[in-house]
Chains A and B, each alone.
Chain A
């Protein structure tokens, strides 16, 4: 009995290495069968974190690529929530997918193929057509590891019907956080379980960076070495405290905690007037019949608004045995043709945006104004140990949402994180 517990635990711990053993075998038999098959049938493995509609689109793109490249089979591997675990297991076993979605370059770049030489050689890629700055996210030590495939900035969604009912004019670009809080207060009606804003119970600190930058601070120093005076600066604390206060005074409702509805769902139900997010839920808001408007993120009075960019890129594994074919697929994936198919992302190419006149559409325009404001470097690119620091920071932010004092918990988080930055 005594043993059993540790055995279970350890067996779990060991699962990855067991997986790796099996994985290695799979790889070798895979190539063997390809060779013995005689034909030039090649299988390209493509790993994605997407599910549902987005995954469907990606499978369609893969099918098109197959028909353009006879003898090639693209195996779309949908890792969903387990993306990091499965990808890490693949790399650990030296049997990764050939092409994969990627954002966490500091963690994975050692296992990825540098793409500079591919990009330089290939005129078809037409790098100048991409939005400037998108390439910065995929670069580590000056080497390019990912080709931007999609991105989104963050905006405030608002429910026009609720604004009309309360006789409040729609928010306009250039509004401030104090205006935002005022409106949120006015649109809260507890008897109807209606709130002005939905605050996330569990925030991704990455998304909060836009607010922190807007208030003139950041989580980490520009050289990536110091957090004292950055992560716990007065401005950082203020921009996080703001949301905690709104939850406390009742003008915002906590969303997405355990057993709680997600903010997306509450917005779809018409129970929150404003919601902050990327482009992902826009399509579903429209389908739910919400008369939705978008506006850029509010400003701290007298300070410029800054935005944060969520970018996804495509990378090729260093261990891939068919890098040229993988590159062809990456190139096809960011071609005008397939970009137009992917509606859950903002197009990475300016020519596509101009053609579809997306930046003229009032619903899409705020994403592009926010793009112009997204020129700060996110913390995870500045320090390779950021994941560890973030563990403390996330706990601190969660404490604020549950009524903690931002300054105090951030001070503590800095203290607990210092050991990672030594």
Chain B
């Protein structure tokens, strides 16, 4: 009894000493993370909350600020055709861009995963566009797409095709934007490449012993093994699609006829062309909610199609069936 008591007090004093020590250590810890925390509060959390507040105000830069409650949100949903129009353009863009983006990035990663000489050079070359700033990228593409002098139409003319004026034709402008946006996807490609490299070789070996061809291997080994990577890239793609502003602003200015007038651009113009800060903040929060919802849905659905290593399928019956299905060609 006495011994345990003694032990307890000993432990307590030891703990106290450690605490005293830690107090200093703790201070150092906070000191080290202070720059980040400070930056986060001042430049991220603060503006974030402030933007929520101003979304309830009529907030012109020049003139009087007035509280108007939910009026900005009401106007947005009921009285502003441009809101719906730009949202629709962004959705159209996302539907085209997201799947293409993943297919292209995965395709490039597959090519780079081949063991050929000089793959490092290709890797660098494909990654290069991601290093270039969006503005420079837009300049390059405006030159590529130019109707009379663009290289794209020059190549088409070699095959006797008269190309359209890509950026001034409502039928092609959005497609042109999608293609231009696909170009800077080096980071996504690298993530896929890392995912591909992480697949153990023996899986392919045993698959080929089982008689699976290259295509079969791709769908039964490669794809299931990289589903976590696909999930990550899918989410970042969706976010990137909703964020697209630089190219729209610089390449088309939202035109022709608002065919590339993205939601982000609508928001930007409300803020910096029409100086309706409150309204624009309301736009921004709505976009935040959309992205939040989409991300949530994707995460929710991921339970059904994303497999992590070492994870068993929830329904062994299904797995068995899949195997059987796999064996009958």
Residues of A near any B CB (own CB < 8 A): 1-2, 4-14, 16-18, 84-85, 88-89, 91-92, 107-108, 110-111, 201-202, 254, 257-260, 387-388, 391, 395, 398-399, 402, 404, 416, 419
Contact = CB atoms under 8 A, between A and B. Distances in A.
Contact of A11 (B47, B166, B268): B47
B168 A9 contact: no
Contacts of B62: 88, 91-92, 107-108, 110-111
B274 A258 contact: no
B257 A398 contact: yes
B258 interface: yes
Contact of B43 (A11, A84, A257): A11
A6 B256 contact: no
Contact of A6 (B170, B275, B284): B284
Interface of B: 43-44, 47-48, 50-51, 61-63, 79, 81-82, 142-143, 145-147, 150, 165-168, 170, 235-236, 239, 242-243, 251-253, 255-258, 264, 267-268, 271-275, 277, 280-281, 284-285, 287-288, 291-292, 295
21 contacts: A1-B235, A2-B239, A5-B243, A5-B291, A6-B48, A9-B267, A11-B43, A13-B51, A14-B47, A14-B50, A18-B47, A111-B62, A257-B256, A258-B167, A258-B168, A259-B147, A259-B150, A259-B166, A260-B147, A398-B256, A402-B256
Contacts of A404: 257
Contact of B257 (A12, A84, A402, A416): A402
Given A5-B242, A10-B51, A13-B51, 18 more contacts: A1-B239, A6-B48, A6-B288, A7-B48, A9-B267, A10-B47, A11-B43, A12-B268, A17-B47, A110-B63, A258-B255, A259-B147, A259-B165, A260-B147, A260-B168, A395-B257, A398-B257, A419-B79
B239 A5 contact: yes
B284 A9 contact: yes
A5 B255 contact: no
B274 A388 contact: yes
A387 B269 CA distance: 12
Given A2-B291, A5-B242, A7-B44, A398 B61 contact: no
A391 B83 CA distance: 13
B274 A387 contact: yes
Contacts of B264: 9
Nearest to A193: B148
Contacts of B268: 12
